[in-house]
Copies of this chain bind each other. A is one copy, B any other.
């Protein structure tokens, strides 16, 4: 039974080393090459004999120089039979979306245990699309809302229910304040209301934007052009 040939594109030296060490324990998976950059990987693949190409490439999304996404695009163009598994630290919806568009068919988090990585490789090789549950959920949301979308859109917005947030005038005013980095205290002062009032408004804003932190509220506000 021939082992699954895997190449790895990862700029983090210790993570590359970790893979090299840990994959040795698997009979059915063989780490045939590792690269620190997308350019290096493409150059090596171009020079490879077809029989020596990997079946799967583990691709870090964040790479110096050519991004993991651009590298994935190039690999899928040049070697359509190679499957690409994306590695990422965060489940950034924008990047996941771009990775899907680029042709990646698997997604892993960098802190997944090696056994899970190996299993995901097997699933990918068998024609599956391994991904975490939260990525799966995100993907379904993409599919659900993309289909109803028209014209110019934002990926962040499309993740949410495709209805207006229905923020009141006052709420938009306070959201504007959040985006400008104001605190409860400073907003209260500027609007001549109690900090308690500010807080209640912000709670309601969070609920309407479906977020639980200021950072995300700011992000939605900017991305959706609410302020």
Contacts and interface: CB of A to CB of B under 8 A. Distances in A.
A29 interface: no
A126 B137 CA distance: 11
Interface in A69-96: 70, 73, 89-90, 92
Contacts of A152: 101
Interface in A126-146: 126-134, 136-137, 139-140, 142-144, 146
Nearest to A110: B190
Contacts of A212: 181
Give the secondary structure class of A's interface: helix
B123 A127 contact: no
Interface in A208-227: 211-216, 218-219, 222-223
Interface in A152-168: 152, 155-156, 159
B173 A89 contact: yes
18 contacts: A64-B169, A89-B177, A90-B180, A98-B155, A101-B144, A109-B190, A123-B133, A129-B133, A129-B139, A129-B140, A131-B136, A142-B143, A149-B150, A180-B215, A181-B211, A181-B219, A214-B215, A222-B222
